[in-house]
Amino acid sequence: MSKLIGKQPIDHKTREEVINPESSFLVQAPAGSGKTTTLARRILQLLTVVEDPKEIIAISFTNKAAAEMHTKVVEQYQDPVNVEVVKKIEARARELKWNEDFMDLLEIMTIDSLASKITRQAPLLSESLFMNTSDDPYAVYEAAVKETMKDNNQLTELFPFLNYDYQKIKNQLIAQLETRDQWIEQIQYYKNNPTKIENETNHEFGSAKAESHKHEHGDHDGDQEHEHKHFNGTGYSVCDDSHDHSHAHDSDDNESESSD
């Protein structure tokens, strides 16, 4: 908490310098030290010099923080401590014929909202037009999937794979859209290099197939090279050349001696 001298914080002079609209500042301070209040007071000072309230842009990272910032600006506008500044703002509003609700028109938004606003102003043919951002894009995904599923030709292989279960197919496509950041680059790469991708895939598949054939047949053939059949009087037995066959021959000799 800031140390007070009388009723003013010890850094009161610095706080007054920061709200001067003729200079730029980078403010670094811990949470709860009054950064948002100082920013709100600076916005009020800017309203005394701008031609249009929309010339002022305040950026935050989240919608919640942006809403809190706007609330703080309104609170400072209504605070009796700032009555002199408010008189200047109202005089400028009358002079330049601002709308009566100009305080509600302040550009206090998130970075995403600002980017979306800029792209919406781009010409249609510039291919830079984007939809509004949303905190919960599920409805957008669902609408896109429903539109895609109207054209069954795009899903001829997917429908039988999922037993023509409409709900399962829809859920699967929505899940893919939710994780598109994990595969969109591969799709774009394939779109730009279809032949190269097919060649690489065929090569890898061919190599894997050859390796699999080697394991399935090569080792089996090798085993056959070391196997021999021996007749033991009752039938054929199989033994490996890697083992000593002297025991088998000794056994045959013993059997001959005992039979005599």
Question: Whole-angstrom Cα distance, residue 219 to residue 201?
Answer: 27
Q: Does residue 159 fall inside a structural domain?
A: no
Q: How many CB atoms lie within 10 A of CB 95?
A: 8
Q: What percent of the chain has pLDDT over 70?
A: 67
Where do the H-state alpha helices sit in the chain? 12-18, 35-46, 63-78, 83-95, 111-120, 138-149, 158-161, 166-178, 184-192, 194-213, 219-225, 246-259
Half-sphere exposure of 237 (CA within 13 A, CB side): 9
Task: Supply the range of the domain harboring residue 101.
Answer: 4-120
- The SS3 of residue 217 is helix
**Which CATH number covers residue 27?**
3.40.50.300
In a domain, 150, yes or no: no
Residue 138 lies in a domain: no
Residue 55: inside a domain, yes or no?
yes
Residue 47 backbone phi and psi in degrees, to 5: -65, -15
pLDDT tens digits for 117-161? 887 776 655 555 555 556 678 888 888 888 888 776 767 777 787
Domain annotation covers residue 116: yes
For 85, the 3-state DSSP assignment is: helix
- What mean pLDDT is predicted for residues 56-77? 92
The string of pLDDT tens digits covering residues 14-49 is 888 888 888 888 888 888 888 899 999 999 999 999
Residue 78 predicted with pLDDT over 80: yes
pTM: 0.49
Has residue 31 been placed in a domain? yes
When divided into structural domains, the chain yields a total of 2
The domain boundary residue, chosen from 105, 120, 135: 120
What is the per-residue pLDDT across 224-250, written as a single tens digit (0 to 9) for each?
444 444 444 444 444 444 444 444 444
- Answer yes or no: is 127 within a domain: no
The label of the residue with tokens 């699999």 reads 212
Give the end of a domain, one of 94, 120, 146: 120
Is residue 133 included in any domain, yes or no? Answer: no
